Copies of this chain bind each other. A is one copy, B any other.
Amino acid sequence: MPDSDMKTIYNARPRSRSAADMQCAIRILEGRWKMMILAWLFEGPVMRFSDLQRAIPDISQKMLIQQLRALEQEKVIFRTVHAQVPPKVEYGLTDIGKALGPVFTALLDWADLRRAVKASDA
């Protein structure tokens, strides 16, 4: 491997603080749905339960609730219940949740890059 490649790698390398930190963060976002839900919560100040259902049609009601509860417990999102009939519940990002912005931005950039590379391969 030539030196130039080494440099590329070491420039790309994120400062490794600790593997434990990484795992901790990963576990919170783990699963098929959490990132998807968070991505949609970035779309507006709040989203109603039914908004999320419509936004992510493949998720089952059970999963949606389960994942929302998990994210709420980690204080990544908040839940506000309005005493109305029919009920109205709003979900939104907490400050910690909003701090995930750069992660999602980076991920979307990466997705773009991948698509570009794939296209040029073909």
A9-B93, A39-B19 as given contacts; A109 in contact with B102, CB under 8 Å: yes
Q: Which of B39, B100, B106 contacts A16 (CB 8 A)?
A: B39
In the bound complex, CA of A23 to CA of B99 (Å): 20
- Please report whether the interface of chain A is mostly helix, strand, loop or mixed according to DSSP: helix
Residue in chain B with minimal CB distance to A21? B111
Task: Find the residue from A6, A13, A96 having the highest chain B CB count within 10 A.
Answer: A13
Copies in the complex: 2
Instruction: For A110, list chain B residues within 8 Å (CB).
Output: 25, 99-100, 102-103
CB pair B25 A114 closer than 8 Å: yes
Instruction: Flag A15-38 by CB within 8 Å of B: 1 or 0 each.
Output: 111010111111000111001100
In the bound complex, CA of A1 to CA of B114 (Å): 38
Q: Spell out A's residues near B (CB within 8 Å).
A: 1, 5-6, 8-9, 11-17, 19, 21-26, 30-32, 35-36, 39-40, 42-46, 55-56, 92-93, 95-96, 98-115, 117
- New A-B pairs, 10, CB < 8 Å, besides A14-B104, A30-B31: A1-B46, A9-B42, A9-B45, A12-B98, A14-B101, A16-B108, A17-B112, A25-B110, A26-B36, A99-B110
